[in-house]
Structure 1
Amino acid sequence: MARSLSSLAYPERFYAAAAYAGFDGSPASSVSSKFSNDVALLLYALYQQATVGPCNIPKPKAWSAVELSKWRSWNELGNMVSTEAMRLFVKILEEEHPGWYSRASNFIMEPAVDVEMNVSLLTVQNAKVDLVTENGNNIPEVKTIPAENGNLSETQDLEVVSEGFGAVGVYDQWVAPPVSGTRPRARYEHGAAVIDDKIYIFGGNHNGRYLSDLQVLDLKSWTWTKVEVKAGIEASPATVTPCAGHSLIAWEGNKLLSVGGHTKDPLETMQVKVFDLQNGSWSTLKTYGKPPVCRGGQSVTLVGTSLVIFGGQDAKRSLLNDLHILDLETMTWDEVDTLGVPPSPRSDHTAAVHAERYLLIFGGGSHATCFNDLHVLDLQTMEWSRPTQQGEIPSARAGHAGVTVGENWFIVGGGDNMSGVSQTVVLNMSTLVWSEVTSVQGRVSIASEGLSLVLSSYNGEDILVSFGGYNGRYSNEVNVLKPSHKSTLQSKMMETPVPDSVSAVHNATNPTRDMESEFETGQDGKIREIIMDSEPTIKKVEETSERLISALKAEKDELESSLSKEKLLTLQLKQELTDAETRNTDLYKELQSVRGQLAAEQSRCFKLEVDVAELRQKLQNLELLQKELEILQRQKAASEQAALSAKQKQSSGGVWGWLAGAPPNQSADNA
């Protein structure tokens, strides 16, 4: 999980977790009764590291096994900073005991706040709609989140407008619209996207548990409903994995892409889930090539027909700064080798694209540090740069959200390891000049981590809509900001000169301005004077510019033609691969059939071999019987011969008859 605990509430959340776990002499049960020995030792070490610091006590004697184990666990943490120890303590507790915060409410004391902050919190959190009377009709009035610098009535340059739904709103201020319907469960690190004036919210983290529900807010009626997910061909509602830290992208007008995210049982590689609004079912996008390693907290930016994925944190809590691109036409992954110095490994940052060419990365965090650096990637040359930022540079933050309105990039919320960021800022991506739009007060969802921010329209005007977040409490609040022309143009009116490293982003998209600046920055203005005084020179420059532009257009056409051919070739290869897979499937089925026939023949042959063996045995027995018969026949013949001989002897009388005195005839008769 990339950031299981909002860094902006470490101290309060940590001490509440310590009390629940049984540390610090709290009324909670003992540590050993809640956790295994290994977990209890690790929690003890993290608690000591967070409250005392690195282990400096002497090593206990060997005979004290328990104290020695505790000392070793603490000593192995080395010089880990206290905020990181707090974060890991609460992360382990949430993994072992999900929902501990709600069960610990009996003995966890909330920090005291003054009356003014309580009023602000009640105003924002409850988002109640009061009824005001206008021309005899009751009209709902939207509560405005208090600004940091005084009351709204004291701000003279705010333009008040009447909305179609009857609410009174202001430009460049966050307001809570009067939503209806069953609100989604409070959450952060969810995904949000807009299709047809409807905001779709998917997944997220609530109380340490990942979510998988899909909710929708209709911006015309400001009504929440839950999307009923039907069983799909490739995935059913039961197999849609709960996740957090993912990205939700609107695609093809009626589909939502859920990219990456942290899950309970992570896979080895990143998957892209597709929700079809027409049939109401989830499926897994079939891709080719080598997909990135599974991760969450990454940035996913739609550039043309490609998704650009940067950074994040993998399942082993390793921070990443690699770059991957998914071509949504060929569904092919590509890991890009970039030039220059890339941003340091990070997660929970924001990304935006300018002029369909420049990818901007701002902020994010590591395990113990938050950033406010700005990096630019030229998507044509794939080279990183770190231009100089101008104006009111924002403070370091992670878990913030951003959205672009034209060439302006609005950044909202986030945390900086100490508190929530209350300022809403805007960056002009052409000049790289920052300016502050507004600021909120108190612990509100706008000043939280893991919130979502989308761009939509209402009554023909652009509006920014935020949802959810975590700042010690999980939020399900909706807030709206309507940017005025002044806020979107303010950075352009800055009189601070823009250095070359900054203006390069804008000049690369404006070749005419490049030619003008090249002639306007000569020594002592001599070139400018020559241009102003010499018509032929200007004409020559224009002709040169036209030839250069023509050459660039020809090169562009050639590159587009080559790209089209490459895409066609890729599609052909993809079709050939599909045909080969089909043939392979048919051959495999045929092979299985032949194997079945062969098995049947082998079985029949085995039976025949058994029958032959039986017949051979019978034949051997028959031969033995034949031999016995021949012996018996010979014995019979011998017996008959002997009997015949004896009979002949008796019939003749012989010597014995003569000696007995018997007459021959009597002997014969006796015989």
Structure 2
Amino acid sequence: MAMARASSGLAYPERFYAAASYAGFDGSPNSSAKELTSKFSNDSALLLYALYQQATVGPCNVPKPSSWSPVEQSKWKSWQGLGNMATTEAMRLFVKILEEEDPGWYSRASNSVAEPIVDVEMNHDSKTEAVKENGNSFPETKTISTENGNLMETQDKDVVSEGLGSVVVYDQWIAPPISGQRPKARYEHGAAVVQDKMYIYGGNHNGRYLSDMHILDLRSWAWSKIQAKAVAESTESPSPALLTPCAGHSLIPWENKLLSIAGHTKDPSEIIQVKVFDLQTCSWSTLKTYGKPPVSRGGQSVTLVGTSLVIFGGEDAKRSLLNDLHILDLETMTWDEIDAVGVPPSPRSDHAAAVHAERYLLIFGGGSHAACFNDLHVLDLQTMEWSRPTQQGEIPTPRAGHAGVTIGENWFLVGGGDNKSGVSETVVLNMSTLVWSVLTSVQGRVPLASEGLSLVVSSYSGEDVIVAFGGYNGRYNNEVHVLKPSHKSTLSSKMIETPVPDSVSAVQNNTNPTRDLESELEVGQEGKIREIVVDNVDSEPLISKHPETTEHLIATLKAEKEELESSLSKEKLQSIQLKQDLTEAESQNTDLYKELQSVRGQLAAEQSRCFKLEVDVAELRQKLQTMETLQKELELLQRQKAASEQAALNAKRQSSGGMWGWLAGAPPTQNAYDA
């Protein structure tokens, strides 16, 4: 069975080497995999050999074996038939074929092969390592990420009863103690939060798609499994059916329901399926939609904007990457394919998407079959126009398979892979200023540096908490980590202290090239004034104790205010001058455009006249050729006439001594006999 993710990310290299070791390859370029023929069929063994050579050596450049050995001939032919297949593609197909031939290989190899290769570097003690995949045992400790990024363990006495309220460390990842039976480790699953409960559905484990659903109570940190009822084929015809296991889908909360959109399946349908899970009845059904639905896919992004779902990109069942855009109206259940203007993102899957101000759709990263991206694209959902604004700050490295959530104007991104390793940084994008910053970082091959993990956000006592689950980083994970972002935004303070260059376009100004400079200046000055006030809030106790400093502080504030107002006045004047220059430039541009249109009209008239002349010349040439032909025919007739006249004259001369001569009185010709 194919892995859910198409692009070459973190999963394939490490899983490939584990699979190769399990299959019997010794790691050398000329490995013959002696154990293959005993484990697999001849065809599969040859194909696995060829894929291993393609992944480790590259395209076949060795000459055809001269010896008449059927085995060597077949091996060479299989390898040579792969052509220039990419290394990552060969790795993916190797793992795919091995899992089809031996579905349980990974479990059997974990104890002897996979673990030494993966070598997961987690700073846990023996109690932490006692966590089993089935979740029957777990440590009574929590792991906190320190300032240097390492994970440390601390005892937590009341964390179970307090739930999210126990998270007291800001801007650091914490692993709380979890009770109940944990879900099977997985990645590329769906996750959503409804009323302080995190729902986990589907995913990929050992190359097998899952269809189970679990709940994590964020108040008690307790897992429980949902026994879903029979699935109905549609909301109108509730005939029972089995729920199709899937991975790479999207799970969206909507009106006390969960919508599962798209995803990879073993037997994919032609179009996207939308499944509905009713939280009250714990039953699944298939949503009946109208219009033209998109083709089936996985690894897409699905973003809830108002009452609509915006679907972008992904990879279809034939492994073709997509960059199409579709919208599902949840009120009318109607699909609409959007033909947006501008340059869209290149085809990709496993990217991240977010919406800002209920108007702008942001797309970041993702992967193709050979590369990962770190580009940022913005779609204005009002004008349906793509743009690619300039990113600022600590721009993240290329990645795919990452997850993201938004809190206010901040977009948090976690995990992902770049074909070499997992991403350890938790990065934040201020969607108003498009400035990136690194919030925190972890060390080692921990679950947070995984591909295909899920990320959700929940609130407790007015504070937001981010919850991460699962992922794949050489091994499948089922661990939970939480992070509470601080209220103080270092990103905002940086933007207040540092003026934004004119080349940086905020999301709100992407589609407006003639933005209001005056309003920007006013906002900037207001931010500076706020900064002064905030900086002096902590001084209030000092002021109350020392009244003599109050007048000095007020005088200082007044002086700074006057200075700022003076600076604002100058900048307003500059803004007015710039507006005047812009008006004059637009006027000149209008005149030049009119002149250009006039010249274009004249050029079109001349082109038309030139074309007509060319037609006339062609007709005259044709007539001239006809006249030449007639001239030749006339000359021929004249020569024939002259010849006829000459012949008639000669005949007349010959007959002048005959009857005509007698009639004319000419003497008869003397007879020769008379002579």
Check conservation: 1:162, 1:169, Cα contact below 8 A: no
Query: 1:244 aligns to what?
Result: 247
Check conservation: 1:5, 1:87, Cα contact below 8 A: no
Q: How many percent of aligned residue pairs carry the same amino acid?
A: 75
Check conservation: 1:10, 1:418, Cα contact below 8 A: no
Structure 2 unaligned regions, length at least 5:
133-139, 154-158, 524-564, 581-675
Call closer, same or farther: CA 1:106–1:37 in 2, change over 3 Å. Answer: same
Query: 1:68 aligns to what?
Result: 73
Specify which of 511, 514, 517 is matched with residue 516 of structure 2.
514
1:320 is the counterpart of 2:319: no
Query: 1:133 aligns to what?
Result: none
1:381 is the counterpart of 2:383: yes
Check conservation: 1:27, 1:107, Cα contact below 8 A: no
Report Cα offsets for 1:223-245 as digits up to 9, x if no partner. 11111212355467751111000
1:433 is the counterpart of 2:438: no
Query: 1:32 aligns to what?
Result: 37
Query: 2:222 aligns to what?
Result: 223
1:360 is the counterpart of 2:362: yes
Query: 2:48 aligns to what?
Result: 43
TM-superposed deviation, 1:345: 0.9
Report Cα offsets for 1:294-353 as digits up to 9, x if no partner. 110000001111111111111111111111111111111111112111111111111001
Distance 2:509 2:310 in 1: 23
Distance 1:533 1:270 in 2: 56
TM-superposed deviation, 1:409: 0.2
2:143 partner letter? K
Distance 1:222 1:520 in 2: 47
Specify which of 391, 413, 424 is matched with residue 422 of structure 1.
424
TM-superposed deviation, 1:435: 0.3
TM-superposed deviation, 1:121: 7.4
Call closer, same or farther: CA 1:389–1:378 in 2, change over 3 Å. Answer: same
Q: Which moved more, 1:326-335 or 1:104-113?
A: 104-113
Check conservation: 2:447, 2:479, Cα contact below 8 A: yes
Q: Is the partner of 2:467 in helix, strand or coil? A: strand
Specify which of 123, 126, 150 is matched with residue 119 of structure 1.
123
Q: Is the partner of 2:383 in helix, strand or coil? A: coil
1:78 partner letter? G
1:375 partner letter? H
Aligned Cα root-mean-square deviation (Å): 3.7
Distance 2:376 2:206 in 1: 32
Question: Alignment length, in residue pairs?
Answer: 516
Distance 1:39 1:198 in 2: 45
Query: 1:575 aligns to what?
Result: none
Distance 1:502 1:293 in 2: 37
Report Cα offsets for 1:476-497 as digits up to 9, x if no partner. 1111000002347457537554
Specify which of 286, 292, 299 is matched with residue 290 of structure 1.
292
Check conservation: 1:423, 1:440, Cα contact below 8 A: yes
Report Cα offsets for 1:498-521 as digits up to 9, x if no partner. 344542413469999825158899
Between Structure 1 and Structure 2, whose CA radius of gyration is higher?
1
Call closer, same or farther: CA 1:502–1:227 in 2, change over 3 Å. Answer: farther
Call closer, same or farther: CA 1:123–1:489 in 2, change over 3 Å. Answer: farther
Call closer, same or farther: CA 1:147–1:244 in 2, change over 3 Å. Answer: farther
TM-superposed deviation, 1:212: 0.6
Check conservation: 1:229, 1:282, Cα contact below 8 A: yes
Call closer, same or farther: CA 1:517–1:531 in 2, change over 3 Å. Answer: same
1:199 partner letter? M
Q: Is the partner of 1:90 in helix, strand or coil? A: helix
Distance 1:223 1:147 in 2: 28
Check conservation: 2:251, 2:259, Cα contact below 8 A: yes
Query: 1:332 aligns to what?
Result: 334
Check conservation: 1:125, 1:444, Cα contact below 8 A: no
Query: 2:94 aligns to what?
Result: 89
Query: 1:481 aligns to what?
Result: 483
1:397 partner letter? R
Q: Is the partner of 2:466 in helix, strand or coil? A: strand
Check conservation: 2:303, 2:310, Cα contact below 8 A: yes
1:251 partner letter? W
Query: 2:142 aligns to what?
Result: 142
1:469 is the counterpart of 2:471: yes
Q: Is the partner of 1:181 in helix, strand or coil? A: coil
Q: Which moved more, 1:363-372 or 1:503-512?
A: 503-512
Call closer, same or farther: CA 1:45–1:152 in 2, change over 3 Å. Answer: closer
Report Cα offsets for 1:131-159 as digits up to 9, x if no partner. xxxxxxxxx76321455456889xxxxxx
Scaled by the length of structure 1, what TM-score is found? Answer: 0.70
Distance 1:224 1:147 in 2: 30
1:58 is the counterpart of 2:63: yes
2:41 partner letter? S
2:183 partner letter? P
Query: 1:304 aligns to what?
Result: 306
1:445 partner letter? P
Call closer, same or farther: CA 1:11–1:297 in 2, change over 3 Å. Answer: closer
Check conservation: 2:7, 2:367, Cα contact below 8 A: no
Specify which of 107, 110, 126 is matched with residue 102 of structure 1.
107
Specify which of 13, 16, 25 is matched with residue 15 of structure 2.
13
Specify which of 414, 436, 446 is matched with residue 448 of structure 2.
446
Structure 1 unaligned regions, length at least 5:
129-139, 154-160, 542-671
Check conservation: 2:340, 2:384, Cα contact below 8 A: yes
Distance 1:96 1:420 in 2: 29
